[in-house]
Amino acid sequence: MSNKQEDFIVAIDGPSASGKSTVSREAARKLKVNYVDSGAMYRGMTWKAVREGVDVKDAVAVIELMNRTRWEFFIEDLVLKFTIDGDDPTDHLRSEPVRERVADIAVIPEVRVFMVTRLRETAEFGALVMEGRDIGSVVFPDAEFKYYLDADPEERARRRHKELLETEGKGDVEQVLSSLTRRDKIDSTRKTAPLQIPLGAKVINTTGMTIDEVVDFIVDEVNATR
Ligand code: DC
């Protein structure tokens, strides 16, 4: 299971809507390794708090709730999945209440310690591509491959807006841009593990690049080295 010589870690960090989710998922599929979306875990905790009526700005209440939760992890079709107290939160992770609160959950240092521990444990399932905000800097600073994906804010807002139209049938570009900017600010100015370019990470500005171009760049590089 774990620590095999051939197990490797590809860490992909970057701000919201930088293209990292699609790129990471697709790169993992092409490399035939597990895909881990670390943001899903922060979203999962947020969903649990909303469901239990816990105010996400009340760190003490969030920590108390978190310490009572039971998480189970498993791999399904090369994708890491989890349940919280037996419930599968997948369908709720992108909902508006979760989206608007998750950055506040992610600033709580105890929550980050909890998630970083869980995330490191996922390497026991084998080689993986993990995406997030602190993967190459905190979770796996020694990862063999590190990338930092970015794109201009307007481009990111356009992408997220398109996604919202597809999933919810509505969305306002200006509002998306201001929500993204607000979240970026919280993510990059928080005291614990702020969003940053990890030491040794390769920066890819995806503005004007297709998903396939970014995926191929990463996959080719990993394959060339291994
Ligand atoms: O990548 P995402 O949009 O699903 O992330 C949701 C939130 O969780 C976002 O506010 C940043 C935070 N996050 C984090 O702080 N660290 C991670 N490794 C992943 C996500």
- Model pLDDT for residues 149-174, shown as the tens digit of each residue: 999 999 999 988 998 898 888 888 89
Residue 106 CB less than 6 A away from ligand 1: yes
pLDDT at 64 exceeding the cut of 60: yes
By most ligand atoms within 8 Å of CB, the mutation choice from 42, 62, 149, 182 for ligand 1 is 42
Q: Percent of the chain beyond pLDDT 70?
A: 98
Residue 183 CB less than 6 A away from ligand 1: yes
Atom of ligand 1 nearest to the CA of 115: 18
**Kind plus residue range of the DSSP H or E element containing 97:** helix 96-106
Q: What is the pLDDT averaged over residues 119-130?
A: 97
Residue 111: strand, helix, or coil: helix
- The full set of domains in the chain, from first to last, is 9-217 (3.40.50.300)
pTM for the whole structure = 0.92
- Model pLDDT for residues 25-43, shown as the tens digit of each residue: 999 999 999 999 999 999 9
- Higher confidence at residue 42 or residue 226? 42
Residue 191 phi, psi dihedral angles, 5° rounding = -70, -40
Do 74 and 86 touch, CB atoms closer than 8 A? no
pLDDT at 17 exceeding the cut of 90: no
- Specify burial of residue 74 (Cβ count, 10 A radius: 0-12, 13-18, 19+): exposed
Residue 103 CB less than 6 A away from ligand 1: yes
pLDDT at 55 exceeding the cut of 70: yes
Instruction: Tell me what the pLDDT averaged over the chain comes to.
Output: 93
pLDDT band at 4 (very low <50, low <70, confident <90, very high): low
Residues 6+ apart with CB under 8 A from 71: 44, 82, 83, 84, 118
Cα distances from 34 to residues 26, 203, 221, in angstroms, run 11, 22, 18
Residue 43 CB less than 6 A away from ligand 1: yes
